[in-house]
Amino acid sequence: MAPFIADSYYSGGTTASTSNAIDTSGVTNPAPQAVYQSNRYGNFTYTIPNLTAGAAYTVRLHFAETYWNAAGKRVFNVSINGQQVLTNFDIYAAAGGANKAVVKEFSVTASTSGTLTIQFSTVVDNAQVNGLEILPPAGGTPIPTPVAGAVQINAGGPAVAPFIADSYYSGGTTASTSNAIDTSGVTNPAPQAVYQSNRYGNFTYTIPNLTAGAAYTVRLHFAETYWNAAGKRVFNVSINGQQVLTNFDIYAAAGGANKAVVKEFSVTASTSGTLTIQFSTVVDNAQVNGLEILPAAGGTPTPTPTSAPSPTPTPTGTPPAGTPNFGPNVYIFDPSMPSSTIQSTLDAIYSQQQTNQFGTNRYALLFKPGTYNVTVNVGFYTQVLGLGRSPDDVVINGAVNLDAAWMNGNATQNFWRGAENLKIIPSGGWNKWAAAQASPLHRVDIQGNLLLWDGGWASGGFLADSLVTGQTQSGSQQQWFSRNDQLGSWNGGVWNMVFVGVNGAPPPSFPNPPETVVNQTPVIREKPFLYIDQSGNYYVFVPALRSNSQGTTWANGTPAGTSIPISQFYIAHPGDSVATINNALAQGLNLLFTPGVYQLNGTINITRPNTVVLGLGLATLVPQNGVIPMTVADVDGVSIAGLLFDAGPVNSPVLLQVGPSGSSQDHTSNPTVLSDVFFRIGGAGPGQATQSLVINSNNVIGDDLWLWRADHGSGVGWTVNPAANGLVVNGNNVTMYGLFVEHYQQYEVIWNGNGGRTYFFQNEMPYDPPNQAAWMNGSTRGYAAYKVADSVTSHEAWGVGSYCYFNVDPSIVADRAFEVPDTAGVTFHDLVTVSLGGVGTIQHIINNTGGPSNSTTTNAYLVSYP
């Protein structure tokens, strides 16, 4: 279908296709027929990178109405770089009928950052586009197109057409340079910018969705931009287990520094349709600058990440009458189904999601009460939920596993997934849950042992309202938070293990081993959950508020709480407008987000007390045009659970605001609770937000929050995904359980309210300040991770840790990790700082006390302050 490439550079929306023949006779220079037979629909944006800043381009948008048979059924707007170019556009009306092509053409100018942002916004039904062309002016520089059917990856860098942004990797770190690269010695070199970025360390690229057993050519691009002599960087490369480069030295092979060299190999895709390319250090760090996977002549084209076909999960049958419309990505299993059918569906979803770290697919796997003989492997953006009132109503004989095979045992990126409300009887006695952040376990009954690592590093994690009858072994977990659990026994501890209201917790012993124990949970309301009654009716159960509690809510039977019929929820689907959602909320409905990515062109306003907002399958909210995606009024008892707020390409001032500025109501008896609410700035693409979560209301409870400015993925860099602060607390008597905040550029937590309490805090300072001068707080070097305002007179925290890894400039120093007023009412217990690998320095733990953590002494501990 050349010259059109596969669907790329988009965010949001859903795809569809048809076999209808399309009449292109009314179009000058139409696209190929197949372009009009596929489309993206919903609310979505295409961001075209790597253009010449300020240059003129022609944009041609191709459309064909293949679904509706009348005008007025699909109406939408289109804007380019913020300028609306189509208003109330109707494809059917413009083309003069269905299955007819129409093209709209615009003269535009690339932004100062060299991009074109083309936004499609629904008015009626769903916006749609079939094809896009961005054409340079006559005599201009052509926009590169990919080799037909190739995957071309810019290792460690953004998209540089035709190379896509760094994808399909695990492990390693990125670096870049402005050095000019000599490509004269290479046939068919990559663009200059590819050689100016790299991934280094020990790392692996796993290219999926190839044709099993088919022949491919792999081209690896290298340039030595750091060392100025041979022998300084030596490494091995293997493809599908076969070593193809031994003791490879880029400098020696290229004949000097800043010179490109390419190594090419003929390979065969594995029986699972993958190529695994592993880079292993011998001296210093392995490195690669670019990768190309080219199908052999006549072979099947290799898909790119944005359009890669995935295994199609086996349908589970037509839902019974009365089943709510949870959308296509909720799978409901019944114990009457054959185990082989269920297992096949589970395996297909896991195959798709195992490495899909920044993809757009979202899944919820719901198990009706009964017993299942299956093994559930849980990939990215997959939520496994039992539908009973008690965890023991759904029994999994096998396992519900989270492993790190995709990163060779390294579990530090096992994000965004979860399991809830299940009884697990693990075959072999051990259930593995090698979790990182945003991968919680709630309300699980594990009849056996629980393993929290997979042989390599691990960096989690969260366990609440759960029973483990055997031993929980933390292994390499750097930190862990358990709340209101019942444990048979606990083994392990690295830096910061915190237990609050846990029966069977180990004795308090910080820092050796680093176990922090608080006997009772002062106040908590557990996460709401979906269940089904004996008549097949669906409800959401909202557990009651508990004070000074220990152990689970369900140990002595059905917990106290309120059941809300599903009929009292508006069930949202991707593509629903903000106006529609707000109208449902205004009518008194609660809100359930089905799995998917929601492009929001306005603010969802939660104004009614006791509103429940529940996401399934890591439902993801992405603001457009700098809007605030969600606000909560200063009212009692709101529950927000199971959502991922993902910053959009235009800066939002905040992603979630709880209470307007100046909120003053007392919510002691019925607080708002945020459960499993996650925030992301970059990683899936360029994103920016000044602050992620602002809490103005009093008495709010946070339970498992991860606020993350991305350190890897797409759209990552000091000026690419800017974000000043993660959490800002202005309300009084706010309580946090399991607070994870990472990589923000200024104070990562700012606490202005009195009476605040934090039980477990995990932080990494930003990796990427370019130098010390760029990361100064007045005369202070760097920003503290956790700032309690000078005006605060009461605040307490237990089990808090901050780590640094200044890999761009290891000479950078943060003067302190925690900055608090020296007053009797402000106390901290069990503090740790770590210089990861000795890369960078944290001079003091808190104020001017404790430390340093640096290349000489990486870990520093403090039992209490003051």
Quick: pLDDT tens for 363-404. 999 999 999 999 999 999 999 999 999 999 999 999 999 999
Report d(CA 393, CA 383) in Å as an integer. Answer: 18
Measuring CA to CA, which residue among 218, 227, 279 is closest to residue 253? 227
Provide the pLDDT for residue 210.
Answer: 74
Q: Which helix (H) or strand (E) holds 788?
A: strand 786-788
549 found inside a domain = no
Full domain range(s) for residue 797: 567-865
744 and 670 share a domain? Answer: yes
Q: What distance in Å separates the CA atoms of residue 189 and residue 262, rounded to the nearest whole number?
A: 8
Q: For residue 619, what pLDDT is reported?
A: 98
Amino acid at 562: T
Q: Which residue has the tokens 């996460």?
A: 527
In this predicted model, which residue has the larger pLDDT, 145 or 189?
189
> Hunting for tokens 């006997």 — which residue is that?
519
**What Å distances lie between residue 444 and 419, 425, 464, CA to CA?**
8, 11, 8
pLDDT score, position 441: 98
* Residues 129 and 213 occupy one common structural domain: no
675 with 814, same domain?
yes
Same domain, 672 and 732: yes
Distance of CA 231 to the CA centre of its chain: 38
What mean pLDDT is predicted for residues 122-126? 88
Mean pLDDT of the chain: 92
Tokens of 390: 């008690």
Instruction: Answer whether 350's CB lies under 8 Å from 384's CB.
Output: no
Q: Collect all residues with Cβ–Cβ distance below 8 Å to 591 and sequence separation of at least 6.
A: 569, 570, 572, 581, 584, 585, 604, 606, 611, 612, 613, 614
Per-residue pLDDT at 311: 42
Task: Give the residue-averaged pLDDT of 442-463.
Answer: 95
Confidence of residue 5 (pLDDT cuts 50, 70, 90): confident
Same-domain status, 293 and 343: no
Out of 65, 742, 764, 819, pick the active-site residue.
764
> Mean pLDDT, to the nearest integer, of 576-603?
96
How far apart CA 810 and CA 771 sit, in angstroms, is 9
pLDDT of residue 55: 85
Q: Is residue 532 part of a domain?
A: no
Torsion of CA 254, 255, 260, 264, to 10 degrees: -20
Strand partners, 561: 543
Determine which helix (DSSP H) or strand (DSSP E) holds 846, and give its type and residue range. Answer: strand 841-846
Q: How far is CA 8 from CA 194, 289, 324, 687, in A?
A: 18, 21, 33, 17
Which of 52, 200, 219, 38 lies closest to 146 in space, CA to CA?
A: 219
**pLDDT value of position 18:** 85
- Asked whether 448 and 509 are in contact (CB, 8 A), the reply is no
For residues 305 and 268, the answer to whether their CB atoms sit within 8 Å is no
Question: Which of 135, 165, 185 is where one domain is finished?
Answer: 135
How many other β-carbons are positioned within 10 Å of the β-carbon of residue 289?
30
Identify whether 452 is part of a domain.
Answer: yes
Strand 515-518 and strand 496-500: the pairing is parallel
Do 560 and 543 touch, CB atoms closer than 8 A?
Answer: yes
Tokens of 791: 């005006």
742 classed as catalytic: no
Contact 605, 631 (CB under 8 A): yes
Residues found in the chain: 866
Tell me, yes or no, whether 552 lies in a domain: no
Residue 229's pLDDT band, with cuts at 50, 70 and 90, is: very high
> Are 586 and 663 contained in the same domain?
yes
Q: Is pLDDT of 208 > 90?
A: no
Domain-located, residue 755: yes
Identify whether 852 is preceded by a cis peptide bond (ω within 30 of 0): yes
The structure tokens listed for 80 are 């380019």
pLDDT at 7: 80
User: What is the structure's pLDDT at 343?
Assistant: 95
181: domain CATH number is 2.60.120.430
Which residues touch 304 (CB under 8 Å, ≥6 apart)? 5, 6, 8, 146, 151, 164
Q: Note whether residue 369 is domain-resident.
A: yes
Structure confidence by residue, pLDDT tens digits, 39-68: 998 888 888 876 777 888 899 999 999 988
Count structural domains, the chain. Answer: 4
> How far is C-alpha 423 from the geometric centre of its chain's CA atoms?
27
The Cα 746–Cα 394 span in angstroms is: 45
Whether residues 127 and 156 fall in one domain = no
Structure tokens at 110: 């690339």
Are 711 and 743 spatial neighbours (Cβ–Cβ below 8 Å)? yes
Share of the chain above pLDDT 70, in %: 95
Same domain assignment for residues 604 and 659: yes
Q: From the CB of residue 221, how many other CB atoms can be counted at a distance below 10 Å?
A: 27
Type of residue numbered 783? Y
Instruction: Determine phi and psi for 556, rounding to 5 degrees.
Output: -110, 30
pLDDT of 332 strictly over 50 = yes
pLDDT at 145 over 70: no
474 or 117, higher pLDDT = 474
Chain centroid, CA 207 distance in Å: 20
Query: Are 647 and 681 a contacting pair, CB within 8 Å?
Result: yes
Q: Report the C-alpha gap between 427 and 740 in whole angstroms.
A: 32
Distance, CA of 789 to CA of 751 (rounded, Å): 6
Token output for 840? 């960078």
Domain end: 111, 135, 159, which one? 135
Tally Cβ neighbours within 10 Å of residue 547: 9
The rounded Cα 355 to chain-centroid distance in angstroms is: 12
Question: With 60 as the cut, is the pLDDT of residue 316 above it?
Answer: no
Collect contacts of 772-779 with beta carbons under 8 A, ≥24 apart: 772/809, 772/811, 772/812, 772/813, 774/718, 775/745, 775/812, 777/746
CATH number at residue 842: 2.160.20.10
Per-position b or e across 24-44, b if 16+ CB within 10 A of its CB: beebeebbeeebbbbbbbbbb
**Whether 70 and 164 share a structural domain:** no
Assigned domain for 702 exists: yes
Q: Is the pTM of this model over 0.85?
A: no
> Does position 516 have pLDDT exceeding 70, yes or no?
yes
Same domain, 107 and 166: no
Asked whether residue 550 carries a pLDDT value surpassing 70, the answer given is yes
| pLDDT for res 137 | 63
- Tell which of 272, 307, 342 closes a domain: 307
Place of tokens 């039977």: 557
- Within this chain, do residues 671 and 586 fall inside the same structural domain, yes or no? yes
Same domain? For 172 and 94 the reply is: no
Is 444 part of a structural domain of the chain?
A: yes
Q: How far apart are the first and last CA of the chain?
A: 69
Contacts of residue 89, defined as CB under 8 A and 6 or more positions apart, other chains included, come to 75, 76, 77, 78, 104
Say whether the peptide bond before residue 461 is cis (omega within 30 degrees of 0): yes
| CA nearest neighbour of 44 among 303, 272, 341, 306 | 306
Please report, to the nearest 10 degrees, the dihedral formed by the alpha carbons of residues 442, 448, 449, 452 taken in order: -30
Distance CA 447, CA 371 (A): 14
Residues 6+ apart with CB under 8 A from 837: 805, 858
DSSP 353-404: HTT-TT-S--EEEEE-SEEE--EEE--TTEEEEE-SSSGGGEEEEEEEEB--
